[in-house]
Amino acid sequence: MRGKGQRWTRFLCVILLLGSLPRANLLRAQEAASQTPREHQLDLDSFEYVWKTVHEKHFDPTWGGVDWKAVHAEFRPKMEAVKTRREARAVVRTMLSRLKLTHFSLIPSELYGDLSRPESGAGEPGVTGIHLRVIDGRALVVSVDPGSPAAQAGVRPGWEILQIGGKEIASQLAAIAREFEGKSLKDLVLTDAVAGRLEGKQGDCLAVSFLDGADRNISHSLALVEPRGAKFQLGNLPPVRVWFSEKTVGPGIGYFAFDVFLAPGILMTAFNNAMRSFMNAPGLILDLRGNGGGQGEIGCGMAGWLVLEKGRDLGTIRTRDNALKLIVRPRPQVYPGPVAVLVDGLSLCATEIFAGGLRDLGRARVFGTRTGGAALGGNIERLPNGDGFMYAFANHVTAGGRVLEGNGLVPDVIVQHTREALLQGRDLILEAAIDWIRDFK
Amino acid sequence: MSLKTGRTAGFVLTIAALFTELALVSVGGSLALPVQNTPPRAEQILDQYVEAIGGLAALEKINNRVIKGTMEIAGAGVKISITAFQARPNKACTVIDSPATGRIETGTNGEVAWQVSALAGAQLMEGKEKASFLHMNIFDRAVYWRRSFQKVEAAGEEEVSGRPCYKVVVTPKDLPPQTVFFDKETHLVVRIAMTIENQAGTIPSDSYLSDYKRVDGVLLPHKTVTRLMGQERITIMESIEQNAQLPPERFDPPTEIRALIKK
């Protein structure tokens, strides 16, 4: 239910796990070009930088049991033999995949936007306004941005996406589903496989075929437009979109949704204002479905509105040398009512830590489906060849002692969309949360 | 993806610590070391240092400082602007602002210590966190090291960046010891190893001070590189103004903090 901004953060988490992630077309041509001797050297230097960083900064000094020096010996010759940037990246990604963890990934240099360029325009990343989930092997529209090309074309929640750009997607989804069966990242990878194809450059058009509510095949040519939300860049993180929505639902229940834990100046200001206005609401719903995570301290700041007791925490992060609790500092005024948190397989990292932490503190009930299980503390550095390199310097354990990485957070109430409900304009997860709050004693 | 997950508390205190390291740098006492063959005592090393940076007479003319600079997390592409106000006897206020943090103001009037941020709202520090913060913000705490530290002990010699240094372990009352490294030739502080305590835990911090420049007759470091939580943070003091015209209310707790104090 989110746009491109947060898809990028999800992309960072899983890029190494999926060999063929959809990416912008501009990438394909550039990374396939033959290297000059200087570019080759830069790739070699980058390889060494990556290996050394993992060697020195991985939170586990045993690298999860992997013989990291032997890995260097194995991959260095392969790196020396590469002919293109694509091959170089593949070698590094394969090397990193030996760690079997999220948050160890490469970010192609081509995908770093130039913030000095205008906010929007031709050539900038563009989207259709469709948000989807893959449910039971079918790519279903779950929401459509108001006023977007998809909305103007009449695309509705519950429609199934059959083809994009003339290519059907079912077989790819089936293959991915087999590969990721049982893994916490399955929903994320499936959804992004389709969502990635729905992206391109602003101004371009994309042919999309749907199965509509009456089971008819319908095709639309959808223009790609600027994604929703404010453009934001933090350090070496590529630009993302920060989006939030505040409203009341049901019997005056406060509702706040956002797509990423970033840009505290924007997000926390909005959240703080929302909490002040919701202080007398009968309940609060935090919709974190599709939230790709970000800065964990934002979750601590939000939790300060919800947790009355001092000295409580959202778990512990452990680096190679330290253990730090994610301390919640109660606000002068704390919301006393019931809190529901909505999550799904695209809820990652800071989102999982926040939701899991609130639940362990007995402060929230979690609704939806299992989260993505990508909960590590990461940092991004730029490599000599210009690529970004994300690595985990810390792991996380909830206050209840659970490790979310690789496992995800299983909601208290498991509920997911169905095509029938979506076609009726219903959101079953949100409804379950509203019902719980309505009946809350 | 979690970037710098859960670092707010330590992060903010660390920034404050970086600037209060200036207080350690501008110390007092002016005993010149006699020529000797035996290793100097800690007291002698500290006093010699005071002399090296300008002497007590020059230092005591300084009543406040306004420091403007930046802190960069090396390699991560994150740069934060910082403005720090410090005044006798123990007042401080540090304001940082960046897309990564929003605006965060941390301060003390010598009695209460606080933080106001978009992330965590208004917070009064308590316990060890408060004690540590108050200690770090004693103006020129090392000038009056006999009062600031319960114990000072020489701890041998060790090279820092290839230069021989004296090690001195200084211990504030009820707080963990700090190890300070003095260059044997210049007598300046070049490294401080310490731990920062707050609610989140205990965070080892290792700072390297350099780029000393004379300001109003006092030598002050203009660059600090701090290794903390596996990262390297580079702080550049772009300007240091001393005896600035500060309004009397500069160190008063903000409105939100005053409301908390009344509770």
Task: Pick the range with the lowest mean pLDDT from A348-362, B34-48, B247-261.
Answer: B34-48
Interchain CB contacts (distance < 8 Å): A and B:
171
In this structure, the answer to whether residues A97 and A165 fall within a common structural domain is no
The residue written with tokens 């490790």 in the block is A403
Which chain A residue has the Cα nearest residue B7? A297
Q: What is the pLDDT of residue B66?
A: 97
Nearest CB partner across the interface for A322, out of B76, B99, B201: B201
Q: What is the pLDDT confidence band of residue A314, given thresholds at 50, 70 and 90?
A: very high
Q: pLDDT tens-digit profile of A168-187?
A: 999 889 988 888 888 888 89
Helix, coil or strand: residue A94? helix
Cα–Cα dist B94/B105, whole Å: 6
Buried b (16+ CB within 10 A) or exposed e, A267-303: bbebbbebbeebeebbbbbbbbbbbbbbbbbbbbbbb
Q: Mark yes or no for CB contact A301/B77 under 8 Å.
A: no
Q: What is the pLDDT of residue A111?
A: 65
In this structure, the answer to whether residues A210 and A332 fall within a common structural domain is no
Number of domains forming the structure of chain B: 1
Q: What is the pLDDT confidence band of residue B20, given thresholds at 50, 70 and 90?
A: very low
Write out chain B residues lying below 8 Å of A304, CB-based.
120-121
B95 touches chain A (CB under 8 A): no
Question: Is the residue at B160 inside a domain?
Answer: no
Q: Are A100 and A64 in contact (CB under 8 A)?
A: yes
d(CA B120, nearest CA chain A) in Å: 4
How far, in Å, are A200, A224, B101, B104 from residue A264 at the CA level? 28, 28, 6, 11
Is residue B262 over pLDDT 90?
A: no
Q: What is the pLDDT confidence band of residue A431, given thresholds at 50, 70 and 90?
A: very high
Which chain B residue has the Cα nearest residue A57? B230
3-state helix, strand, coil in chain B (%, to 5): 20, 45, 30
The residue written with tokens 């259709």 in the block is A128
Question: Is the residue at A260 inside a domain?
Answer: yes
| Among A55, A379, A382, A397, the residue to mutate for chain B (most B Cβ within 10 A) | A379
Q: pLDDT tens-digit profile of A149-174?
A: 999 999 999 999 999 999 999 988 99
Interface of B with A in 231-260 (CB under 8 A): 231, 256, 259-260
Q: Mark yes or no for CB contact A234/B78 under 8 Å.
A: yes
Question: Is the residue at B154 inside a domain?
Answer: no
CATH code of the domain covering residue A183:
2.30.42.10
Residue B116, exposed/middle/buried by CB under 10 A (0-12, 13-18, 19+)? buried
In this structure, the answer to whether residues A214 and A352 fall within a common structural domain is no
Cα–Cα dist A378/B5, whole Å: 7
A132: tokens are 């989807």
A33: tokens are 């070009």
Write out chain A residues lying below 8 Å of B122, CB-based.
331-332
Asked which of A175, A198, A223 is the last residue of a domain, the reply is A223
In this structure, the answer to whether residues A316 and A377 fall within a common structural domain is yes
In this structure, the answer to whether residues A72 and A148 fall within a common structural domain is no
Share of chain A above pLDDT 70, in %: 90
Question: Is the residue at B37 inside a domain?
Answer: yes
Q: Are strands B78-87 and B91-98 parallel, antiparallel or unpaired?
A: antiparallel
Buried b (16+ CB within 10 A) or exposed e, A408-430: bbebeeebbbebebbbeeebbbb
Q: Are A140 and A132 in contact (CB under 8 A)?
A: yes
Q: What is the pLDDT confidence band of residue A1, given thresholds at 50, 70 and 90?
A: very low
Interface of B with A in 124-163 (CB under 8 A): none
Q: What is the pLDDT confidence band of residue A340, given thresholds at 50, 70 and 90?
A: very high
In this structure, the answer to whether residues A93 and A237 fall within a common structural domain is no
Q: Are B221 and B228 in contact (CB under 8 A)?
A: no
Nearest CB partner across the interface for B122, out of A234, A326, A332: A332
d(CA B203, nearest CA chain A) in Å: 7
CA angle at B39 for the pair B34 and B41, rounded to the nearest 5°: 75
Cα–Cα dist A24/B166, whole Å: 57
Write out chain A residues lying below 8 Å of B95, CB-based.
none
CA angle at B180 for the pair B178 and B185, rounded to the nearest 5°: 175
Is residue A144 over pLDDT 60?
A: yes
Question: Is the residue at A3 inside a domain?
Answer: no
Q: Mark yes or no for CB contact A324/B7 under 8 Å.
A: yes
Q: Are A402 and A356 in contact (CB under 8 A)?
A: yes
Q: What is the pLDDT confidence band of residue A342, given thresholds at 50, 70 and 90?
A: very high
Q: Mark yes or no for CB contact A317/B5 under 8 Å.
A: yes
* Residue A204 parent element (H or E): none
Q: At what angle do helices A296-303 and B8-25 cross, to 10 degrees?
A: 100
> What does the pLDDT average to over B184-206?
90
Average pLDDT, chain A: 88
Question: Is the residue at A246 inside a domain?
Answer: yes
HSE of A81, CA atoms in CB hemisphere, 13 A: 7
In this structure, the answer to whether residues A289 and A413 fall within a common structural domain is yes
Helix, coil or strand: residue A100? coil
Write out chain B residues lying below 8 Å of A320, CB-based.
230
In this structure, the answer to whether residues A293 and A164 fall within a common structural domain is no
Q: Which residue has the higher pLDDT, A311 or A248?
A: A248
d(CA A124, nearest CA chain B) in Å: 22
Cα–Cα dist B263/B261, whole Å: 5
In this structure, the answer to whether residues A79 and A176 fall within a common structural domain is no
How far, in Å, are A283, B156, B253 from residue A249 at the CA level? 10, 68, 39
B212: tokens are 């000393």
E strand residue ranges, A199-327: 200-201, 205-211, 217-223, 230-232, 240-242, 244-249, 253-258, 284-287, 313-318, 323-327
Question: Is the residue at A330 inside a domain?
Answer: yes
Amino acid identity at B18: L
The range of the structural domain enclosing residue B218 comes to 8-148+211-243+253-262
Q: What is the pLDDT of residue A17?
A: 34
d(CA B233, nearest CA chain A) in Å: 13
B35 touches chain A (CB under 8 A): no
Q: pLDDT tens-digit profile of B83-135?
A: 999 999 999 999 998 877 888 999 999 999 999 988 888 899 988 889 989 99
Amino acid identity at A328: V
d(CA A219, nearest CA chain B) in Å: 36
Q: Mark yes or no for CB contact B4/A236 under 8 Å.
A: no
At residue B252, φ and ψ (nearest 5 deg) are -70, 145
Which chain B residue has the Cα nearest residue A303? B120
Asked which of A187, A206, A223 is the last residue of a domain, the reply is A223
Q: Are A407 and A428 in contact (CB under 8 A)?
A: no
User: Among A324, A381, A395, A235, which residue's Cα sits nearest to residue B205?
Assistant: A324
Region at A109 (left for phi over 0; alpha for psi -120 to 50; beta for the rest): alpha
Question: Is the residue at A4 inside a domain?
Answer: no
Question: Is the residue at B235 inside a domain?
Answer: yes
Question: Is the residue at B188 inside a domain?
Answer: no
Q: What is the pLDDT of residue B99?
A: 77
Q: What is the pLDDT of residue B37?
A: 61
Q: What is the pLDDT confidence band of residue A35, given thresholds at 50, 70 and 90?
A: confident
At residue A81, φ and ψ (nearest 5 deg) are -90, -5
Write out chain B residues lying below 8 Å of A300, CB-based.
6, 8, 119-120
Asked which of A69, A94, A111 is the last residue of a domain, the reply is A111
Cα–Cα dist B109/B134, whole Å: 9
In this structure, the answer to whether residues A294 and A407 fall within a common structural domain is yes
Q: Mark yes or no for CB contact A378/B75 under 8 Å.
A: no
Task: Pick the range with the lowest mean pLDDT from A23-32, A189-198, A304-313, B41-50.
Answer: A23-32
Cα–Cα dist B110/B119, whole Å: 24
Q: Mark yes or no for CB contact B5/A374 under 8 Å.
A: no
Q: Omega of the bond prior to B89 within 30 degrees of 0, cis?
A: yes
In this structure, the answer to whether residues A429 and A389 fall within a common structural domain is yes
The range of the structural domain enclosing residue A386 comes to 230-439
Is residue B35 over pLDDT 50?
A: no
Helix, coil or strand: residue A233? coil
A390: tokens are 């994300």
How far, in Å, are A40, A105, A282, A303, A306 from residue A278 at the CA level? 57, 39, 9, 14, 12
Q: What is the pLDDT confidence band of residue B11, given thresholds at 50, 70 and 90?
A: very low
CATH code of the domain covering residue A429:
3.90.226.10
Q: Are B203 and B14 in contact (CB under 8 A)?
A: yes
Question: Is the residue at B179 inside a domain?
Answer: no
In this structure, the answer to whether residues A287 and A419 fall within a common structural domain is yes
Which chain B residue has the Cα nearest residue A311? B199
CATH code of the domain covering residue B115:
2.50.20
Q: What is the pLDDT of residue A228?
A: 93
Cα–Cα dist A368/A34, whole Å: 47
> What does the pLDDT average to over A82-90?
93
Question: Is the residue at B219 inside a domain?
Answer: yes
Question: Is the residue at B109 inside a domain?
Answer: yes
Q: Are B114 and B107 in contact (CB under 8 A)?
A: yes
Q: Are A293 and A352 in contact (CB under 8 A)?
A: yes
Q: What is the pLDDT of residue B33?
A: 41
Q: What is the pLDDT of residue A13?
A: 38
Nearest CB partner across the interface for A349, out of B1, B7, B230: B1
Share of chain B above pLDDT 90, in %: 59
Number of domains forming the structure of chain A: 3
Q: What is the pLDDT confidence band of residue A422, given thresholds at 50, 70 and 90?
A: very high
Cα–Cα dist B140/A184, whole Å: 54
Task: Pick the range with the lowest mean pLDDT from A28-42, A123-137, B245-259.
Answer: A28-42
B32 touches chain A (CB under 8 A): no
Write out chain B residues lying below 8 Å of A334, CB-based.
none
Is residue A10 over pLDDT 70?
A: no
